[in-house]
Structure 1
């Protein structure tokens, strides 16, 4: 679990959805009414939300140069189903992609990914390489080569394992 600051812009939504599951303990905050309320989810939307979460995690692992450990629906296939609209501000002419419907999580995630692509921040959102973690974090390292959500926890564990293996 990370002590790092949250991801910028709409990526905070992606980061917080991926981090609803603590892989090490198995705790899933989407199992609670409060956890579902954070994302505007009804109980019947949970299977799709979990599918989206794991597809996002797989993409974030790919950003860090790793393969997912199980088969997931490709993120592109899910996001292709997200209804978005292009909005244009009449005052200043600025344009943005927005969810066609405010409630569906898929559309909000698609808009956040599109915003991050334009901003150049999408590939900086990664998943920790520790198999027992895979926590989403925003890589703020100068070279963009961060590997762990936390150097003090996951990074230290990995380095200690490597040291002991010698």
Structure 2
């Protein structure tokens, strides 16, 4: 799930900084410059799914994540030595979409997929893992986005 979270968080919505604009940022995900549009499409489809996990609508229309992931062939690989299993792609050097599909599949099996969410704040939408006991987290950080939301509500009551 770290891969999914990292990819979504390559774009800082508040500042507009996109680390995929740099060669180093693309290299972190094995994305060539010619694959940049597809990587961004995948990122925003993931963000929309994570917003949905938190009960929010995406900030714009995107290709549904399921549609993108349906293009990826995965299989279950079993280690003959210890019997451990995991999802794998049929080819070595798997593209980003395939690695994301495997990460999503692993999270589904582990039961953690819906705990990966995007922050409710419209200027943020940062991906985070919801560690709250009830799974009802709304913000990436109570100290930043949560505090801002509470302050806005407080000021609205005062005004």
Give the TM-score taking structure 2 as reference length.
Answer: 0.95
Secondary structure of 1:109 counterpart: helix
Q: C-alpha root-mean-square deviation of aligned residues, in Å?
A: 0.8
| Structure 2 runs not aligned, ≥5 long | none
Given that 1:100 and 1:107 are in contact with CA atoms closer than 8 Å, whether structure 2 keeps it comes out as: no
Shift of 1:95: 2.2
Partner in structure 2 of residue 57 of structure 1: 47
2:87 to 73, 85, 97: 97
Secondary structure of 2:109 counterpart: helix
Shift of 1:61: 0.2
Partner in structure 2 of residue 3 of structure 1: none
Residue 141, structure 1, aligned to residue 132, structure 2: yes
2:9 to 10, 19, 32: 19
Alignment: residue pair count = 156
Given that 1:40 and 1:103 are in contact with CA atoms closer than 8 Å, whether structure 2 keeps it comes out as: no
Shift of 1:99: 2.1
Shift of 1:35: 0.1
Shift of 1:91: 1.5
Partner Cα distance (1:129, 1:90) in 2: 44
Partner in structure 2 of residue 68 of structure 1: 58
Higher relative contact order (CA 8 A, sep 6+): 1
Partner in structure 2 of residue 6 of structure 1: none
Runs of 4+ in 1 over 3 A off after TM superposition: none
Partner in structure 2 of residue 110 of structure 1: 101
Partner in structure 1 of residue 143 of structure 2: 152
Residue 165, structure 1, aligned to residue 138, structure 2: no
Residues 94-152 of structure 1: CA deviation (Å, up to 9, x unaligned): 32211223330000000000000000000000000000000000000111110000101
